Amino acid sequence: MPSVAPMFRPQSTVMLSRVAHSLYWMSRYIERAENIARLLEVNLQFLLDFQGIDDDSVKDHWGSIIASSGGGELFAQHYDVADSRSATSFLAFDLRNPSSILSCVYAARENARMVRDQISLEMWETINELYLFLKARNAAVVWAAGANEFFERIKQHSHLFQGLTDSTFSRSEGWEFIQFGKFLERADKTTRILDVKYHILLPNADDVGGALDTAQWQAVLRSASALEAYRRFYVREILSWKAAEFLIFSDTFPRSLHYCVAQVNDLLRRILGETGARPRSEAARISRRLFADLESRSIPDVLKQGLHEFLMEVQNALDRIGDEVVQTTMFYPVDTASDDHQQLQQQQQQQQ
C-alpha cells in the first residue's frame, strides 16, 4: 500500500488505518509482555541456582539484561544499583518504563478497547482479565506471594490470547496486522535475548565452556522457550555456537530469528500488496534483504563478524521495517495511555 498524505485518504480508509494500528500494537504489546516475563523468570531462577555468585557478578548479570532491553539510561535515572529487586521492579512494574510488563499490558488493553468491535469477545476478555490481575498487584505483593507464579500467569494469558486469536479471528487484513506485529516483536526479542549473553562478561577465557558458561547459555535458550526444542534437535550437550545457531537459523522453531523473519517477509507482501518480483516499498526491500542474508549465511559467518554486531544490524533492520509500515499504513495515532494507566502511574510516583 503506497504512502498517501492523510488529507487525501477517504474516511473509510482512515478508520481502517486506526483499526490496523490498534491490532498491530495490541499484538506487539502482548508478545513483549510475555517475553519480558519469561526473561525475568528464567534469570531469577538462574541466580538462585548459582547462589555463590558475588554482588559484582549479579550487578553485571542484571545490567546486561537491562541493557539488552534498551532501557539502560532510563534505569540509571531512577535506580542506584542493578539487582534482582530493582531489575524486576523496573522491567515488570515500573510504569515509567514503557516496555515494562505493566505498561505493555495496559497499552495492549487500551488498543484492544479501541477496536473492541473488531476482535472476538474471548480475545477481549483474556486481555481484560490480565489487565485486572495486574492492576490488583504491585512489586511487594508479587515478592511476598512468589514471583514465579506471577510470571507464569503472564505467560499463560499470552498463550491463551494467541490461541483464541487463532481460533476466533477471521483471516482478514486485521489478522495479517496481528501476525505481523507478533512476529516482528518476537524477532526483535530473540535478538535481544541472545545479546544478553554478549553483555555478560566472564572473568577469563577459561570460563568459556565451563559450568557457568553452559548455565548461561541454557538460560538464554529457556528465555526463548527453546531448551527442549534445542535438545531434541542436537541431543548432546549445550554448546555456545550451537545454541546461537539454533536461535538464529532454525527454519522450524517458531521463535528463531529465521522463522520470524520469514513470517514477517510473507506478511509484508500481503499487507503492502507486493505481488511483483521487485519490491516497491522500502520495508519490503529491507525485509527481503534481511531474509536473503539469513538464508545465505551460517553461524561461522556470524561469529566471524561478531555476534553482537550481527544482532545490532538485525535489530536496526527490524526497527526500520516496523517504522516504515506504521508510517505507510497506520498514520492515525492511537493514544496508548488510558485514564487508569495515568492514575496508576501517579500513584507509583507518590509512593516513591
Of the listed ranges 33-37, 48-52, 91-95, 160-164, the least confidently predicted one is 48-52
Q: What is the DSSP string of 177-246?
A: HHHHHHHHHHHHHHHHHHHHHHHS--SSGGGTTSHHHHHHHHHHHHHTT-HHHHHHHH-S---HHHHHHH
Q: How far apart are CA 97 and CA 345, in angstroms?
A: 10
Q: Which residue has the higher pLDDT, 256 or 61?
A: 256
pLDDT in tens, 173-211: 999 999 999 999 999 999 999 988 766 644 444 555 567
- Compute CA 94 distance to the chain's CA centroid, rounded to the nearest angstrom: 17
Look at residue 140 in the predicted model and tell me its pLDDT.
80
How would residue 278 be classed by pLDDT, with cut points 50, 70 and 90? confident
Determine the average pLDDT of the residues in 42-61: 81
What is the mean predicted confidence (pLDDT) over 109-133?
96
Closest by CA to 63, choosing from 45, 42, 46, 86, is: 86
Residue 263: pLDDT band (50, 70, 90) is: very high
Q: How many percent of the chain have pLDDT more than 70?
A: 85
Higher pLDDT, 214 or 299: 299
Q: What band does 50 get if pLDDT is binned at 50, 70 and 90?
A: confident
Q: Give the residue, 128 or 213, on which the prediction is more confident.
A: 128
* Average pLDDT score, the chain: 86
* Segment 232-241, tens digit of pLDDT: 998 778 888 9
* Helix or strand (DSSP H, E) at 168: helix 147-168
Question: Considering only CA atoms, which of 326, 59, 305, 63 is closest in space to residue 184?
Answer: 326
Sorted by where each begins, the domain ranges of the chain are: 6-351
State the number of CA atoms in the 13 A half-sphere of 159 facing the CB: 9
pLDDT above 70: residue 87: yes
Contact status, residue 19 vs residue 118, Cβ threshold 8 Å = yes
Cell numbers 539502560 correspond to: 72
Quote the percentage of the chain above a pLDDT of 90: 61
CB count, 10 Å around CB of 264? 26
Q: Whole-prediction pTM value? A: 0.88
